[in-house]
Amino acid sequence: MPNNPSSPDLTPSILFIDDDADVQKAAALLLPRRGFSLLSARDPAEAWSVLSAEPVDVVLLDLNFRPGSVSGAEGFACLEAMVAHDPDMVVVIVTGHSGINIAVAAMRAGATDFVMKPWNNDRLVATLTAAVAVRRQRRNADPVAPQPAGHAAEPDSPIIGDSPAMRRILEPMRRAATTDAPILLLGEAGTGKSLLAHSIHRLSPRAGRPLATLDPMALWSEGEGAWTTALAAVTPDGTLFLDEVGDLPQPLQARLLAFLKERPHLRLVTASRQKRDALQAGMLQSDLLYRLNIVELSLPPLHERGDDVRLLAVHFLHLFTRRYQRPALTLSADALDIIAQASWPGNIRALAQAMERAVVLARGTVLHPVDIPIQAPLPDGVAAARPGDGDLNLTRSEKAIVEAALRRHGFNVSHAASELGLSRAALYRRMARHGL
Ligand SMILES: Nc1ncnc2c1ncn2[C@@H]1O[C@H](COP(=O)(O)OP(=O)(O)OP(=O)(O)O)[C@@H](O)[C@H]1O
């Protein structure tokens, strides 16, 4: 059965702009088989005439059109023109394997996501599926009704990330998504477990069926009856996403096992902030754990995802600029560096929140390090400083010295670093540590 990427009734259409006939042929063999209708153009000029005649959900854009050209200048010009022409346009760019900087730049210029060439078929399909969902959300969104604050991204948001750590989980995730196998997602808070659960459902043959999300603790607090009622309401041939499965009280574990036996056709995706050792050491009955983790995926914390943090920062910048209907904003190179060097103990949720705040409070059109609210984590066991404490604290003194130097030099990092006798990188590390 072909994957139905987004809507059961409307075939999503992709306009692929690439001058390479072989690559176009590969797309023509793949995408229609996977539920997309494909339009093609050899260059931006041809693309504009296709766009004027056909409705398109997503533009898949190669960046170089002349033989031997690698700068991506033509592609960038096309991207900017398309986003200026239709701010709801969803453009996914195609770039070479080593092109992470190009990918960051393209996302800064308004691309929604990117794929690396040569592409992996499942990955391309997953990226386009998420991009189509974004397009449809944008189209259906009421422009005068702002989204609720604090909801960083829609559940249909694309999964941004191309670091080796993320590839190690996204590739098996995409393979397993197309089956009915139960999947257990492990990872710290804010690492994207719920987002992945939605993506698994969307990539599965059940995409047109309901996805039910249950939070055991919330249901338990309403009494045992709430749990039974919620389970009874789950559509038998849909997907059940059970969040924080490690919190499931023992009596409910037995009930869940019995329920799963009665519903052999239900697809189960579960998530937990606990490590598997903790789940195994008694939080979950072993027969239940065996039933849940046929495929087990551990999401890496954000600080292990390398340059993904830059891509995510730019992604959230665009998301919140749109949501709050602010004029276009960009991140300075210094701001991106400081974001990349922060430790983000709250993971992607914390980064999203920092970017949301930065967008809301932005004063100009460029965000500098001082505009990015990075909260420095307190080392384990160190209590938060209270106002009025004696101020011989080394951490606070360092923060005051760094901040004063930055202010003296109008937040010019090179000048402040040279006054403090630090390298720029060392100063960035301290700025990130102190949330400056
Ligand atoms: N790779 C990603 N690309 C884009 N957005 C992401 C990514 N990962 C997470 N997010 C966004 O970050 C926020 C937190 O993610 P999510 O709620 O999925 O995390 P979680 O692991 O389920 O957290 P918790 O354990 O606290 O429930 C969401 O708004 C989500 O859309």
Q: What is the CATH number of the domain that holds 242?
A: 3.40.50.300
User: What pLDDT is attached to residue 425?
Assistant: 62
293 with 177, same domain: the answer is yes
Q: How many angstroms does the Cα of residue 4 sit away from the middle of ligand 1? A: 24
In sequence order, what are the residues at sequence separation of 6 or more whose Cβ sits closer than 8 angstroms to the Cβ of residue 403? 434, 436
Last residue in a domain, options 264, 299, 334? 299
CA 274 / ligand 1 centre spacing (Å): 16
- Please work out, in degrees rounded to the nearest 5, the angle formed at the alpha carbon of residue 365 by the alpha carbons of 70 and 326: 105
Q: Answer yes or no: do 346 and 295 share one domain.
A: no
Ligand 1 proximal residues by C-beta, below 6 Å: 152-153, 157, 159-161, 187, 189-195, 273, 312, 315, 348-349, 352
Please tell me the distance between residue 250's alpha carbon and the centre of ligand 1 in angstroms: 28
Average pLDDT, the chain: 82
**How many folded domains does the chain comprise?**
3
The answer to whether residues 87 and 202 belong to one domain is no
Q: Which atom of ligand 1 is nearest to the CA of 152?
A: 29
Q: Which range, 181-185, 314-318, 409-413, 426-430, has the best average confidence (pLDDT)?
A: 181-185
401: CA distance to ligand 1 center in Å?
A: 35
Q: From ligand 1's centre to the CA of 97, what distance in Å?
A: 26
Kindly state whether residues 103 and 185 are assigned to the same domain.
no
Please check whether residue 314 lies inside any domain of the structure. Answer: yes
In a domain, 380, yes or no: yes
Q: What is the largest CA-CA distance in the chain?
A: 70
Task: With respect to residue 102, please indicate whether it lies within any of the assigned structural domains.
Answer: yes
Residue 81 lies in a domain: yes
Choose among 250, 251, 247, 301: nearest CA to 271. 247
Domain co-membership, 318 together with 429? yes
Q: Do 284 and 343 sit in the same domain of this protein?
A: no
- How many angstroms separate the alpha carbon of residue 349 from the centre of ligand 1? 6
**Residue 130 in domain:** yes
pLDDT in tens, 24-81: 999 999 999 999 999 999 988 899 888 888 889 999 999 888 777 777 888 899 998 9
Q: How far is the CA of 39 from the centre of ligand 1 (A)?
A: 33
Cβ count near 21 (within 10 Å): 10
**Together in a domain, 295 and 322:** no
Give the end of a domain, one of 299, 329, 355: 299
What pLDDT score does 6 carry? 41
Q: What pLDDT was estimated at residue 380?
A: 43
Pair 289, 334 in one domain = no
Looking at the fold, whether 41 and 94 belong to one and the same domain comes out as yes
Q: Which residue's CA is minimally distant from atom 25 of ligand 1?
A: 189
The answer as to whether 251 is a domain residue is: yes
Nearest ligand 1 atom to the CA of 155 is 31
Residue 376 in domain: yes
Domain end, chosen from 265, 299, 333, is at 299
Distance 323 CA to ligand 1 centre (A): 18
β-pairing verdict for 90-96 and 13-17 = unpaired
CATH number for position 350: 1.10.8.60
Rounded to the nearest 10 degrees, the angle between the axes of helix 250-262 and helix 224-232 is 20
Top mutation candidate among 147, 160, 194 for ligand 1, by most atoms within 8 Å of CB: 194
Atom of ligand 1 nearest to the CA of 308: 1
Work out which ligand 1 atom sits closest to the CA atom of 192: 18
How remote is the CA of residue 271 from the centroid of ligand 1, in Å?
Answer: 12
Report residue 183's pLDDT band, with 50, 70 and 90 as the boundaries. very high
Q: Is the pLDDT confidence value at 381 over 50? A: no
* Residue ranges making up the domain that contains 93: 13-140
The reported pLDDT for the residue numbered 100 is: 76
Reported confidence tier of residue 154, pLDDT bands at 50, 70, 90: low
User: Which CATH number do you get for residue 35?
Assistant: 3.40.50.2300
Please name the residues in contact with 371: beta carbons below 8 A apart, sequence gap of 6 or more.
335, 358, 361, 362, 363
Query: What is the structure's pLDDT at 147?
Result: 43
- d(CA 200, ligand 1 centre) in Å: 14
User: Which of 134, 162, 195 should be mutated for ligand 1, with most atoms under 8 A from CB?
Assistant: 195
Above 50 in pLDDT, residue 7? no
pTM for the model stands at: 0.69
Atom 26 of ligand 1, residue of closest alpha carbon: 189
Q: Quick one: 271 and 335 in the same domain?
A: no
Give the DSSP per-residue string, 101-149.
HHHHHHHHTT--EEEEESPPHHHHHHHHHHHHHHHHHHHHS-TTSPPPT
75 is a domain residue? yes
**Spatial distance between the Cα atoms of 311 and 99, rounded to a whole number of angstroms:** 12
299 CA closest ligand 1 atom index: 21
425 vs 177, higher pLDDT:
177
136 shares its domain with 24: yes
DSSP 277-344: HHIIIIIS-HHHHHHH-SEEEEPPPGGGSTTHHHHHHHHHHHHHHHHTTPPP-EE-HHHHHHHHHS--
Residue 160 CA: nearest ligand 1 atom is: 3
> In the prediction, which pLDDT does 312 show?
93
Same domain, 98 and 212: no
